[in-house]
Amino acid sequence: MANSSYLFTSESVSEGHPDKICDRISDAILDAFLEKDPYSRVAVETLATTNKVVLAGEVRGPDSIDKAAMEAIARRCIKNIGYEQEGFHWENCDIDVYVHEQSAEIAQGVDASDNKDEGAGDQGIMFGFATDETPELMPAPIQYAHKILRTMATARHAGEVPQLAPDAKSQVTLKYENGKPVGTTSVVVSTQHLEGVSQQEVRDIVRPFVVNALPDGWMCPEDDFYVNPTGAFVIGGPDGDAGLTGRKIIVDTYGGAAPHGGGAFSGKDPTKVDRSAAYAARYLAKNVVAAGLAKKCVIQLSYAIGVSKPLSIFVDTFGTGSVDEDKLGNVLNKVMDLSPRGIREALELNKPIYERTAAYGHFGRNPTNDGGFSWERTNLADAIKSELT
């Protein structure tokens, strides 16, 4: 596809989407455990439907994060998102908690002991990707789709668009020529709104957010700009559609522009390589592109439960690289310890930094001083180049 012309589409969903509510609650509970004990083990799933939230999973950590604490966390998340609707209200929705102790058999395979290093929390394959299409080294369609909804949410929380409600989706289609994005051919935005707000009013509210999210001159033709194409969108969130943790894995990553191993991120502590190794793979791929060694790079890592080192490392630069891919793979394995412990320590993943990842993508975000989005740093680029010289 690098030397062809085509259309490519990616979608995003807002923090008020039912699945994203669930991701946020799961990650907020994870943060609560890590804040008390950085080595807590957490795997928490959330389900949300009309005035109902169910929490399930297994944990090992401080007793203070009990059922009452988890329920309070869930209510706080729902309130902060902005749900005070008859069919889903932070204050009076039912919340059931079915969270138990982690399996001793899983713990045995993961824990370090004697001469055994900490093992992966499960088997699986994880992918990381980077491309020079945007300054964030992310695929352009997903980056713009996220930006539309993120800026809409910021305005909603600031009271600037009181007509809008939390649930929303976006979809951006870009035209590529010779493998590079050159313009937008269509945009779809569906956003929940208050009763009595017309479709045209919603369209007028949404348009500036789309225009500002896209590069100058990239706005699609008016006939290809779709806002709430089915008409009214008043009933939204879990009252309109049930939500589950981990059901937006393509939204969370690269918008379909790269392979995905299938594992979700939210609610999982960093011993779960579904999350930590996907972050490490993104970190390495981004640093390869940032180092100027390729214009596009995908990295696959594979693990077995209880085994510390990756079983394989695969690198593909799609013909855009300046170095041999096998050699590059060996170098990446040298400059970063890709065991669960090594990833956790290098990226400082045992911190309460996960709730913020639950909406608008885990990648293409700005690293923060408290360790958030550490996998987006490009501080490994020089070390990679040095090993190749």
Query: Which active-site residues does the annotation give?
Result: 17, 19-20, 45, 58, 169, 233, 241-242, 247-248, 268, 272, 274
The token duo for 56 is 């399930």
> What is the Cα–Cα distance from 102 to 100, expressed in whole angstroms?
7
The token duo for 225 is 């700009």
> What is the Cα–Cα distance from 376 to 83, expressed in whole angstroms?
31
241 is in an annotated binding site: yes
SS3 282: helix
132 is in an annotated binding site: no
Strands 88-89 and 164-177, sheet pairing: unpaired
193 is in an annotated binding site: no
52 is in an annotated binding site: no
275 is in an annotated binding site: no
SS3 157: helix
168 is in an annotated binding site: yes
Q: How many residues does the chain have?
A: 389
> What is the Cα–Cα distance from 51 to 39, expressed in whole angstroms?
33
The CA-atom distances, in angstroms, between 268 and each of 33, 255, 337, 376 are 11, 21, 21, 19
> What is the Cα–Cα distance from 283 to 377, expressed in whole angstroms?
7
112 is in an annotated binding site: no
Query: CA torsion, points 248, 249, 252, 253, in degrees to nearest 10?
Result: -150
> What is the Cα–Cα distance from 118 to 308, expressed in whole angstroms?
6
362 is in an annotated binding site: no
248 is in an annotated binding site: yes
41 is in an annotated binding site: no
> What is the Cα–Cα distance from 87 to 316, expressed in whole angstroms?
48
167 is in an annotated binding site: yes
337 is in an annotated binding site: no
Q: Are 280 and 347 in contact (CB under 8 A)?
A: yes
67 is in an annotated binding site: no
324 is in an annotated binding site: no
Tokens 């059922």 -> residue: 67
Provide the strand spans (E) within 132-269. 164-177, 180-193, 225-227, 243-244
The token duo for 194 is 């208050």
Tokens 């980077």 -> residue: 130
Sheet holding 180-193, edge to edge: 6-13, 164-177, 180-193, 225-227
The token duo for 68 is 């009452």
Binding residues for L-methionine, as ranges, are 58, 102, 241, 272
- Binding site feature residues for ATP: 17, 167-169, 241, 247-248, 264, 268
Binding site listing: 17, 19, 45, 58, 102, 167-169, 241, 247-248, 264, 268, 272
Annotated binding site for K(+): 45
